[in-house]
C-alpha cells in the first residue's frame, strides 16, 4: 500500500487533504473530541492549506502568518471560522526567541500532543521543527524535492535553498517519527501511532523508497530506481 493512493485536494496542493484524512481515520479511536492543528505560514488560511479541510470539519486551529497583508487576509477567514486562533508572527527557532514556536503556542489553549503540525515557510522549516518541543501526532513539512536522498542540505538563505529529504528524515527519526508519505511535503506519523496506518514494514525500514521523483531529472530518477531494486524485499 502507498498512501499516495489516497491523494485528494480540497485546499491542499499535492493531495495532502486525502492522505491526512486517511491517516486520521486510522487513528480516530484515540483522537480527542477537540482536535487541533497548527499551520504556518498560513497566508489567508485557505490557499494551498494542508489543514483548512480539517477546520471545515470542526477542528480547532492555530494559524501563524508573518506577512502583514497576508495576515489581514487571514483575519477575514477567521471571521467565518471562529475556531481558528490567528497569530501575526514570523516563527523563529532560537531557544531564547519569543517567536519560537513553543513560545507562540503557549499563548493558546492547544495541548502539547495536538493532532497535526504543518510547516511551510519556504526557508527554515526544518530548523523550526528541530527546535520545537511539542509532540504532535502527525507532521507535514515542506522539503526541496528536487534534491535526491543522500544529499544533506539545510536551508541557509544564501547558497542552499530549502531543506533536503535526508536531514529532514534524520530530524524526524531523532524526534520519534516515521515517514509515511512524500507528496512534495514529507508526512510523518509519531512512532507510537505509525503501526495503525498499515504501511508496509519495508517502507518504514527503507523510507527512501517513498521519495517521489516527480521533481528531479530523468537521470537522477533512473539512479533512484536502480537503488530501489537493490533493497531487500
Of 116, 120, 118, give the one whose Cα is nearest residue 138.
116
Q: DSSP 3-state helix, strand, coil percentages of the chain (rounded to 5)? A: 35, 15, 45
**CB atoms closer than 10 angstroms to residue 159:** 7
Longest pairwise C-alpha distance within the chain? 54
Task: Please give the grid coordinates belonging to residue 174.
Answer: 531523532
Inter-residue contact 7 to 15 (CB < 8 Å): yes
Question: What's the rounded Cα separation, in Å, for the pair 83 and 60?
Answer: 5
Per-residue pLDDT tens over the stretch 41-71 = 778 999 899 999 999 999 999 999 989 999 9
For residue 219, the model assigns a pLDDT of 46
CATH architecture of 3-230: 3-Layer(aba) Sandwich (3.40)
Taking the CA atoms of 20, 193, 139 and 71 in sequence, report the sign of the dihedral they define: positive
Low-confidence ranges of the chain (pLDDT < 70): 96, 217-233
For residue 109, the model assigns a pLDDT of 95
Kindly report whether the global pTM for this prediction surpasses the value 0.75: yes
| CB neighbour class for 42 (10 Å; exposed up to 12, middle 13-18, buried from 19) | buried
Domain ranges of the chain: 3-230
Inter-residue contact 171 to 148 (CB < 8 Å): no
For residue 39, the model assigns a pLDDT of 95
Question: What's the rounded Cα separation, in Å, for the pair 218 and 210?
Answer: 17
For residue 126, the model assigns a pLDDT of 94
For residue 161, the model assigns a pLDDT of 83
For residue 1, the model assigns a pLDDT of 81
Of 233, 210, 213, give the one whose Cα is nearest residue 223.
213
Amino acid at each position: 500500500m502507498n498512501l499516495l493512493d489516497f491523494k485528494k485536494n480540497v485546499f491542499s496542493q499535492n493531495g495532502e487533504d486525502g492522505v491526512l484524512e486517511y491517516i486520521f481515520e486510522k487513528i480516530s479511536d484515540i483522537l480527542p473530541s477537540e482536535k487541533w492543528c497548527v499551520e504556518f505560514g498560513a497566508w489567508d488560511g485557505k490557499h494551498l492549506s494542508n489543514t483548512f479541510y480539517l477546520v471545515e470539519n470542526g477542528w480547532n486551529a492555530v494559524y501563524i502568518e508573518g506577512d502583514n497583508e497576508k495576515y489581514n487576509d487571514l483575519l477575514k477567514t477567521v471571521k467565518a471560522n471562529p475556531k481558528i486562533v490567528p497569530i501575526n508572527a514570523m516563527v523563529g527557532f532560537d531557544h531564547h526567541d519569543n517567536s519560537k514556536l513553543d513560545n507562540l503556542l503557549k499563548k493558546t489553549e492547544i495541548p502539547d500532543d495536538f493532532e497535526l503540525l504543518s510547516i511551510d515557510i519556504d526557508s527554515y522549516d526544518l530548523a523550526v521543527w528541530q527546535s520545537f518541543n511539542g509532540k504532535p501526532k502527525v507532521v507535514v513539512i515542506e522539503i526541496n524535492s528536487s534534491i535526491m536522498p543522500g544529499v544533506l542540505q539545510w536551508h541557509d538563505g544564501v547558497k542552499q535553498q530549502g531543506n533536503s529529504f535526508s536531514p529532514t528524515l534524520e530530524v524526524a527519526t531523532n524526534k520519534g517519527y516515521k515517514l509515511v508519505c512524500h507528496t512534495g511535503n514529507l508526512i510523518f506519523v509519531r512512532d507510537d501511532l505509525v503501526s495503525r496506518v498499515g504501511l508496509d514494514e519495508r517502507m518504514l525500514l527503507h523510507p527512501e523508497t517513498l521519495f517521489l521523483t516527480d521533481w528531479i531529472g530523468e537521470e537522477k530518477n533512473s539512479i533512484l530506481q536502480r537503488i530501489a531494486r537493490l533493497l531487500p524485499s
